[in-house]
Amino acid sequence: MTDLGMVKSGSSIGAFITRRRGRKRLDWTDWLTYVYLLAGLVIMFTPVLWVVVSSFKTPANLTEFPPTLLPYAAETVIVEGYDDPLPLFDVTTDEGETVRLAQLRRVGINAQMIDPANPEERLTIPVENAEPVRQIYLAGENYTNLLSSTGGMIWRYVFNSLFITVVATIITLIMNSMAAFALSKYRFRGSNMALVAILATLMIPATVVLVPTYMIVAQLGLVGNLWGVILPTVATPTGVFLLRQYMLTIPDELIEAARMDHASEWRIFWRIILPLSAPALAVVAIFSILSRWNDFLLPLVVLTRRESYTLQLALASFQTEYGIRYDLLLAMTTLTALPLAFAFIFLQRYITSGIASTGIK
């Protein structure tokens, strides 16, 4: 049954992608649709691919202008009598010939070079006549340097981010689903006003309530504690609204039948409502994971000790008054985005069905 379902799912996806308006040939609207989808694909994925590719570039390659599409590194050669490898250059002579020389140093517009086969003779070459010899090189040391430069603290940052994301998402699902169950299946005076009040909080920017939130966290003694980031954000109006709209599609007859069988309200909620609301819960979980994992402002204010930093705060630490370590910054950005990518890949099939179902009443 599973294999058959996978085959049907794959065939439906293929039919959707190859669907067209014209019967014998592509209609002009088909071309317009494909161009639009291709443009969206390029616009959405080009920055992501650029960050991933740039994370494998050397610091020198990152500062080049104009920037290169692929990661390149200067080709070097080991010459007897010199401790460090010397970069190679293709030099155009006055006769128009091209020779490959190794550069010792550069002084102004001239560079001192030697022939690797004859290192005794030093030549002075104008820089404009020399073209560096480069090859495609993946700078994997960016990731190893990232681990060594943080002194092993990166694993602490990963744990802090995972702990905040997982715990906050679990609590968010429980709190939002309970509120949505009450607003969708119970009839009481002021239910509509309560829903409007919850949705009205969407119009209040997070920065407006940042100071009151910090004061409450400080009064609770949670400054510098991961729970100081988790607790203020466990209830989200978007999650309550999405779950309420989805739960409205669940027939009330199921709940009435459970009550006739003497099921408690908690058992109805836990055994009937939650399993049937799985697609909407997955959508809320995705939104919560994205929000908690990428959260920067609240952790910046609450988490004052370095050992309690999240990955987002650790990323900001690579930008100092002395400069920006772009090689480490891009490597850590790539690592930080991987969990979100995996979460989206595994849960993306619930997004369309879950959001679409929340609009059905």
How confident is the model over 1-32, as pLDDT tens digits?
444 444 444 445 556 566 666 666 777 787 88
Whether residue 65 is predicted with pLDDT greater than 50 in this model: the reply is yes
Token pair for 340: 């979100």
> How far is C-alpha 201 from the chain's CA centre?
26
The pTM assigned to this predicted structure is 0.73
Encode pLDDT of 226-261 as tens digits: 999 999 988 889 999 989 988 888 888 888 898 888
Q: How far apart are CA 153 and CA 158, in angstroms?
A: 9
Find the DSSP H helices in the chain: 2-17, 28-54, 59-62, 141-149, 153-185, 191-200, 210-219, 227-230, 237-247, 252-260, 265-268, 274-276, 278-294, 297-302, 311-316, 326-347, 349-358
Model confidence over 316-347: pLDDT tens digits? 877 766 777 788 888 888 888 888 887 777 76
User: Which residue matches tokens 């459970």?
Assistant: 258
Q: What's the CA gap between 31 and 203, in Å, rounded?
A: 40
User: Partners of 123 in the beta sheet?
Assistant: 113
Average pLDDT over residues 91-113: 85
Type of residue numbered 18? T
- The CA-to-CA distance between both ends of the chain, in Å, stands at 31
